[in-house]
Each structure stands twice: as C-alpha cells, then as structure tokens.
Chain A
Amino acid sequence: MTDESATYNADRERILSLMARAVGDEKHETSAYSTLDLLWVLYDRVLRYDPANPRAEDRDRFLLSKGHGPAAFYAILADKGFFSPDTLDSFERWESILGAHPDRTLVPGAEVSTGSLGHGLPMAVGMALALRAKHSDRRVFALMGDGECNEGTIWESVLQAGNTHLGNLTGIFANNFSSSLNLGDLAAKLTAFGWHAMTIDGRDHEQIYAALTTTDPARPTAVVALIHQ
C-alpha cells in the first residue's frame, strides 16, 4: 500500500459516512458506489477548482453525465467545501437543493443539470469546444455509465469529439456491468472513433490517477473504468 492508499482509506470511510446521510435513493445505490473511487481521485488529486467560487473561469469542468446515483458526487462536493455536509441530510426533501439528479441552478459545483441519459457528454463536447475557442487550457471531464452508453447521443458526441480532436476532453466511462446490451470492448470502440482510450480497474486509485492525468493534444481521452462490485 502506498501512502496515498493509506490516506485514501481514511478518506473513503469519511466519504462513505457522508453518503450514508443522503438517504432515499437506494435503487441507485450501485450506481452511486460505482463512481466513488473515480470521483474521489478526480476531486482530490486532478481537478482544479475553488469551492468558494464554483464558476471561476480558470476551473476544470466536471459533468456527471449520467446524473443517476449522485450520492457519492454530493458527498465529495460537501467534503471539499462546496456546501455544508449538513445539506446531505435534506437529500430529496421538498426544501433540499439535492435531488436524485443534480440541478446546476441549485447545487454549488454542479456544472450541468442531468438525469435524462445522454445529455452530459454532448454538453461537455460543447464546453470543450467553447474553451478551445476561448484559448483556455482548462480541461473538461464527463462521467458516463455503461447503461447510458445505450443512448444514441453518447455515440453522436463520441463521433463529434473524435472528429474535432478535442484534446481538452476526458470521458470517464464507468462500467459497472449494468447495461442490458452487451457493449463489447468499449475502449476498442472509442479508439475506432478517434479517442485515446484505455481500460483500468475503476477501484484502483493509482490507475485512476494515472489515467485521469493522461492527455493527448490531438485526441479526446477515454478512461474505461471497470467496476466489479
């Protein structure tokens, strides 16, 4: 175990305890826990952001494209100071800012409102194109579920990002084997669409870190994260 891993184990317990406060979305529990390691490494070691100024121009962008199972996302945002951990106790209640799918107009740190599958990645493509037009060096990350990859717009935007050589875009394809359709070798498919694709263990945070810090200026990067529950 590396020092990072030892630290992470303590962090993981803290995040799990925060997730436990967001009660009511048990049907998406698997979806939430699948993203835990990916989002922790992303927010702890990779993304540039300022919780006090969530829309700062020089931030990296993260879009929870699948929207489903946001408990880990909310817990990490709370842990990193975007809002109080006490907010998690109100999850899904009438007065809460935290619903079963994130709303950008309510949640500090949520870049987009998602929930209907297949919307986040094309919006991420738009943001990456816009950042390029602004000559910004900031990066855009979008996390898709394997079930979400049944949607046609995911493949439209995969084609779009490959054709436009979006080196500032990283797609995280969290594969927890929940797709009803056999997706086959996702990395091979993404490579064929012009992405720089790799497959990793979605629970191994050193592999996650290495993948999320890999970029190719001429191609979007795809991190296919296999998550065995």
Chain B
Amino acid sequence: MDTTTQTTTLETTMRAQMGRTVQDLMAHDERLAVLLADISRPFFAEAFARYPDRTLNLGIQEQTQVSVGAGFALEGYIPVMHSIAPFLVERAFEQIKDDFCFQRLGGNFITIGASYDYSTEGMTHHASGDVQILRSLPGMRIVVPGAPGEFDRLFREAYADAAPTYYRLSDQRNSDEHPVRFGHAEIVKRGEQATVIAVGPMLERTQAAVADFDVTLLYYTTLVPFDGETLRAVCANGRVALVEPFYAGTLTPEVSAALAPLSARIEAIGIPREVPLRYGTPEQHDIANGLTPQGIRARIERFLAE
C-alpha cells in the first residue's frame, strides 16, 4: 500500500525532506543509488529523470530490494533503500543481516511508517519492533531524527560512511529542529533528581512533560552507536526515565551498559509489546499508550516519587 498523497503538509515532513536531501546529494555524488519498492516514487521524481541508471523502482519485493542494494554496494555504489518500516526491516531482516552486516557493506535504509503512523491500516502496517531487532545486528547503526532538518543533517553526515545505517522517519515530529550531530546526544536541560532520555519525535512532548521537574533531559537521535559518554557525565544516581517512540525499554541494554558499574533504575516509557488491535489515529494510540505530555508527566512524577 502506498499512501503517497501529495498535500501541502508534505513539504514539512521527514519523508519530503528525504527526497530533497537524497536528490541534492545525488547531484554531487555519483556513487549514490536509490532503490525503491513502489513507495515514495513522487518524492524522487527528479532523480528518476536525471539519474535513471541509479534510481530504480524495483516493484514490491523488499527482500530482493535489499539484496540488489548489496549488489550495488559491492560495485562501489552507496545504495539508499526505502520503503515502509515493517516491510523493509522485518520482511527483509535476513537480507539486511547477511547481505549488508555480515558482508560488511555500507548502505542506507530509510523507512516511513514508524510504529503506528499508519494507524488505520492495521497490525501488518505497524512497526514498533524495528529498532529492537536491528540493534541485534553487528555493525548496524540506527538514527531516529525528530524533525525534517535533523534528518538532513544526520544523513549528510553519515550516508557515505561505508556502514549499514537505518534512518527511521515518522509522521510524528517535533516543532523545533535541533543542531543534532551523528553519534552525539544533546543536553536539553540539567537537573538533579533523574535523567530523562527522549528519543527522536518524543522530545517535544517530553520537554512539556518535565518542564518544571528537577531532571536532566537528554535528546538522542543516534541510537547506535549509543552516546554513553554523555549519559555517564550527567547521570550520577543511575535513575533514568527512557521515553521511546517504539517498544518500551528497547534501549535499556544500552543505558545499563553505559552506566555500568553503576546500577541503573530505568523507567521505560514507550509502546507496550501487545498485538495492535485498534485503528483510529496516531493521537488515539498515543493516548492509549500514555505517550501524551500528560501521560509521560504522570509516569515520570511517580518515578521521581519512588
């Protein structure tokens, strides 16, 4: 299913930014090749016209899409593979593992449809477990921007690094863009009682939730490699509230490892591991999962009171 619907709001989406950024780089870097699976073709219209040899729509075959991408990488290209998250990541997981990670090839995997962005499409189109499974792969890097301009910054910085890199784009976004850098967390505010980690699109609502709390707020857009140094520098008491836009607790191992030998107490706020049975809007899912500013505030308030 392609939900490509051109509206004026698309101009401010991460998806539209993906098209702008990648096409701009293609003009300057002849190694870049774009491989699509019937998703987001209009966003690459310029590339199809100007660079037809390295802009291919392969049809609806995501596993082959990833292996074809590996073939391009083997020939010296930097492939960009794009589709909806469950199909590119979960359906083609073995191809990402064997053909890119185990062969030590570089490539860029960009998805839309994070978690329940496609809330009306039902459980097959949800993708709350993508980061969890990708972080199991050796060499895989994971990026979760919170705004279109952040994708632009992070992609330009990392796309040519000869490493497999996952960019998780979402319809959920923060209003403000931050000067993010690949591999670095940003200290948004400082406090004493605990450290709150907001991942990608969770920042704005988390900022609102903890505005008057005595906590440090860290903003992560690169998840792997995880910036443990910044966390260690600000978190002396081991108390961490993790606010994630995917399955709750996905980054718990990274946080625990970063704080070791300090014993961490982690409050994991995110999407529960349940079969998604509801349709409706993403906002309704946020309410049900406690991922509104009010819901996040209530969880962190209880955590601080322990």
Contact = CB atoms under 8 A, between A and B. Distances in A.
Interface of A: 104-105, 111-113, 115-116, 119, 122-134, 152-153, 156-157, 159-160, 163-164
Nearest to B67: A122
B69 to A, nearest CB: 6
B175 interface: no
Summarize B's interface: helix, strand, loop or mixed. helix
Contacts of B33: 130, 133
Contact of A128 (B59, B71, B77, B99): B71
B74 A126 contact: yes
Contact of B75 (A115, A119, A130, A153): A130
Given A119-B98, A130-B75, A133-B53, A160 B70 contact: no
Contacts of A160: 58-59, 61, 64, 68
A104 B54 contact: no
Contacts of B99: 112, 119, 123
B58 A119 contact: no
Nearest to B95: A119
Contact of B63 (A113, A131, A153, A159): A153
Given A160-B58, A160-B61, A126 B67 contact: yes
Interface string B84-116: 000000000011001100111000000000000
B75 A157 contact: no
Place the interface of chain B in its size category: 20 to 34
B72 interface: yes
Contacts of B70: 112, 123, 126
Given A116-B98, A126-B70, A131-B75, A156 B103 contact: no
Contacts of A115: 98
A119 B63 CA distance: 9
B63 A122 contact: yes
B102 A113 contact: yes
B215 interface: no
A99 B103 CA distance: 15
B63 to A, nearest CB: 5
Most A CB atoms within 10 A — which of B69, B71, B98? B71
A112 B72 contact: no
Contacts of B74: 111-112, 123, 126-127, 130
B56 interface: yes
B103 A104 contact: yes
Contacts of A126: 67-72, 74-75
Contacts of A129: 56, 68, 71-72
A103 to B, nearest CB: 8
A123 B53 contact: no
Contact of A156 (B56, B61, B77): B61
Most B CB atoms within 10 A — which of A126, A128, A132? A126
A70 to B, nearest CB: 16
B72 A130 contact: yes
A122 B103 contact: no
Given A122-B95, A127-B74, A164-B56, 11 more contacts: A113-B103, A116-B98, A123-B68, A125-B67, A126-B67, A127-B71, A130-B76, A156-B64, A157-B64, A157-B68, A160-B64
B168 to A, nearest CB: 24
B72 A156 contact: no
B33 to A, nearest CB: 7
5 contacts: A112-B103, A119-B67, A123-B71, A126-B67, A133-B54
A116 B104 CA distance: 16
Contact of B77 (A124, A130, A153): A130
A130 B71 CA distance: 7
Contacts of A112: 70, 74, 99, 103
Given A116-B94, A116-B98, A125 B71 contact: yes
Contacts of B64: 122, 125, 153, 156-157, 160
A113 B73 CA distance: 14
B100 to A, nearest CB: 11
B63 A156 contact: yes
A61 to B, nearest CB: 8
